[in-house]
Structure 1
Amino acid sequence: MEEKIIEECIKKLWIDILELDNVDFETDFYDLGGNSLKLVLLLSAIDDQFDVELDVADFIEELSLKHVVEETVSKINDKKS
């Protein structure tokens, strides 16, 4: 799956979960109104959509849309190997 498609799908998940009209690629999830429950919902939705298991611990340092996309793409590529 192309990275741009993954990015758009994850962006839509953020918009839906955070109940926003749009999200910036660099803005932190928590700065947009996210919390730990919404993070679990987001990671679960990503798992359902892309069949990859993301760990909450991977997002302690950084939780931008860009970072989530990078981690998701990395996990997808690891599964292909």
Structure 2
Amino acid sequence: MKYLLLFLVLFVAYQIWRKQQRLDAAARRRDQAPQQRRPRLEQEKMVPCARCGLMLPVSDALHQDGRNYYCCAEHQQQGPAS
């Protein structure tokens, strides 16, 4: 009977130790995660299409001059909205 009680106490102590190890590992991963998993994305300027007003990134926009940006070639040919 005393061996069963000793085994039970050791088993509970082991489970508590193991749970604490898991919590510590999770905390370490949580502290390191923002630096490793989330690369900071660069924001790109958004511009409206001069014809329809659709907002799109500057890199995707078509433009004739520095002022008017267009979402497609058809809108670029039609020119700015009146």
TM superposition score normalised by structure 2: 0.23
TM superposition score normalised by structure 1: 0.23
Indicate the structure with greater strand content. 2
Indicate the structure with greater helix content. 1
- Bigger Cα Rg: 2
